[in-house]
């Protein structure tokens, strides 16, 4: 019989290094939220991108998920994670800085945005693979749920603030120059990660390392052999496919067809972030009240009906309020579910497979997004934007069925972690 443990109370104050990691994630997310408003505005309103170009931009932004995730996960299990996170942040800052520079020179093009989308997608995967697998190093197992909730709450605040700041900056100084806020955010993130001092254990000693391909294969076999992890990842990937079809034209539909202004677009995203914040803050309480499995399942089940207001919407303030409200509800449950399923996977996964487990999840979850963007681009040529959005909404029912048919829905408490082998700590300066 499987042993289960209740989530213990975390200390009132997080450790300094956990606060630095949370601060780093908040800094990069707040800046990225500015770019989330600025880049679609640049593409749609300033570069006058076509629907095909919008689909290509979405496809290229997601393409690294299918190519980079597995090697990134293997590298995060093999080498210290802090240097990988710092290098990723500095690279992102560098490529984003080319946008205002090109705009100032009158040379900005959709082709440049394509290249930037690919590079940003790749460095984000490297950063996330290292950061997510680094969290269990900074906190004890019984504190993971609260640490993930704290991270999710802080990230939601940063995302919401960034979206509103992005809307204000785009209106005040223009879309291209507002990207400088994202450049600064990545530099702050790199500085905070550099200040983390917790030494990392050497999970794979140099003398025991094999080829990267062998490490990747070993990680994939491990994930396939874990029923709960495997089921959650399968549900995530199918939900991701449906959402990615919608997200390909979500910004375009609001900006071009519903005539939402860039300011209102940012406000809708910012108000949706409030729901995400509430979900992150209340996730431990929800889990303790209804259980881990039901929290995860409800998070998936809310997504399909939350798309209905978008499919019915027309121009005007009344519909903008409806869209923001639906997004807030969706993100509330998505975040509560997300922190819970991430914690569940982190606890169940052996330490030496943390990075590769997360990479496997990223590959099949985010790796389907380029395919979804391509499918959306093909669909819109035949059935139009609105019907393409509706098709993406219907697909989101599939992961709900997967979870309801699995034992995941019945999990009440976080399981006891697997035995952790003793490993020698790295030298203080090596991480």
Phi-psi region of 427 (alpha: psi -120 to 50; beta: other; left: phi over 0): beta
Among residues 256, 251, 263, 253, the alpha carbon closest in space to that of 175 is found at 263
Separation of alpha carbons 173 and 86, rounded Å: 29
The number of C-alpha atoms within 13 Å of 376 and in the hemisphere containing its C-beta is 35
Which residues does the chain have with pLDDT short of 50? 1-13, 207, 421-431
Q: Note the pLDDT of residue 208.
A: 54
Q: Note the pLDDT of residue 8.
A: 38
Q: Model's pTM, two decimal places?
A: 0.66
Q: What distances in angstroms separate CA 293 from CA 231, 276, 401, 417, one per listed residue?
A: 12, 19, 14, 17
Q: Note the pLDDT of residue 427.
A: 35
3-state SS string over 334-357? HHHHHHHHHHHHHHHCCHHHHHHH
CB neighbours of 401 closer than 8 A, spacing ≥ 6? none
Contact 64, 122 (CB under 8 A): yes
**∠371-277-389 over CA atoms, to 5°?**
30
Q: Note the pLDDT of residue 91.
A: 93
Q: Note the pLDDT of residue 13.
A: 47
Contact 358, 310 (CB under 8 A): no
Contact 152, 279 (CB under 8 A): yes
The number of C-alpha atoms within 13 Å of 231 and in the hemisphere containing its C-beta is 19
DSSP letter assigned to residue 201: B
Q: What distances in angstroms separate CA 211 from CA 70, 78, 80, 205, one per listed residue?
A: 13, 11, 17, 13
Among residues 191, 266, 264, the alpha carbon closest in space to that of 34 is found at 266
Q: Note the pLDDT of residue 299.
A: 92
- Tens of pLDDT, residue by residue over 256-315, are 778 877 778 777 877 777 888 788 888 888 988 898 889 999 999 999 999 888 888 888
Q: Note the pLDDT of residue 14.
A: 54
- Tens of pLDDT, residue by residue over 86-101, are 999 999 999 999 998 9
Q: Note the pLDDT of residue 156.
A: 66
Residue 201 sits at φ, ψ, to 5 deg, of -70, 150
Q: What distances in angstroms separate CA 190 from CA 74, 162, 169, one per listed residue?
A: 22, 18, 23
Q: Note the pLDDT of residue 426.
A: 36
DSSP letter assigned to residue 97: T
């Amino acid at each position: 019989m499987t042993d289960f443990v209740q989530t213990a109370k975390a200390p009132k104050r997080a450790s300094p290094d956990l606060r630095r990691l949370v601060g780093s994630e908040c800094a990069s997310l707040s800046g990225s939220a500015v770019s989330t408003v600025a880049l679609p505005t640049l593409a749609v309103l300033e570069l006058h991108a076509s629907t095909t170009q919008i689909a290509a931009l979405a496809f290229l932004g997601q393409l690294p998920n299918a190519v980079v995730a597995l090697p990134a996960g293997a590298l995060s299990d093999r080498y210290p994670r802090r240097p990988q996170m710092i290098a990723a942040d500095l690279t992102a800052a560098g490529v984003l800085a080319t946008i205002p520079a090109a705009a100032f020179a009158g040379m900005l093009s959709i082709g440049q945005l394509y290249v930037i989308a690919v590079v940003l997608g790749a460095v984000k995967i490297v950063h996330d693979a290292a950061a997510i697998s680094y969290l269990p190093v900074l906190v004890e197992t019984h504190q993971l749920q609260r640490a993930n909730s704290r991270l999710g709450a802080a990230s939601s605040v940063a995302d919401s603030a960034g979206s509103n700041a992005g809307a204000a900056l785009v209106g005040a100084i223009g879309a291209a120059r507002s990207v400088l806020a994202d450049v600064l955010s990545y530099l702050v993130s790199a500085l905070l990660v550099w200040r983390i001092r917790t030494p990392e254990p050497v999970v794979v000693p140099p003398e025991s390392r094999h080829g990267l391909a062998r490490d990747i294969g070993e990680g994939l076999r491990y994930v396939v052999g874990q029923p709960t992890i495997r089921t959650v990842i399968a549900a995530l990937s199918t939900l991701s496919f449906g959402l990615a079809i919608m997200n390909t034209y979500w910004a375009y539909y609001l900006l071009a067809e519903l005539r939402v202004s860039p300011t209102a677009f940012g406000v809708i995203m910012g108000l949706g972030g409030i729901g995400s914040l509430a979900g992150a803050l209340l996730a431990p309480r929800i889990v303790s009240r209804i259980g881990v499995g039901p929290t995860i399942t409800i998070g998936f089940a809310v997504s399909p009906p939350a798309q209905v207001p978008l499919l019915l919407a027309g121009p005007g303030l009344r519909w903008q309020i409806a869209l923001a409200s639906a997004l807030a509800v969706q993100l509330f449950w998505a975040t509560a579910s997300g922190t819970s399923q991430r914690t569940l996977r982190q606890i169940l996964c052996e330490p030496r497979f943390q990075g590769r487990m997360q990479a496997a999840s990223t590959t099949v979850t985010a790796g389907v997004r380029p395919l979804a963007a391509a499918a959306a681009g093909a669909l819109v040529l035949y059935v139009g934007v609105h019907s393409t959005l509706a098709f993406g909404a219907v697909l989101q029912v599939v992961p709900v069925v997967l979870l309801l048919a699995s034992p995941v829905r019945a999990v009440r408490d976080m399981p006891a972690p697997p035995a952790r082998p003793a490993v020698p700590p790295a030298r203080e300066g090596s991480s």
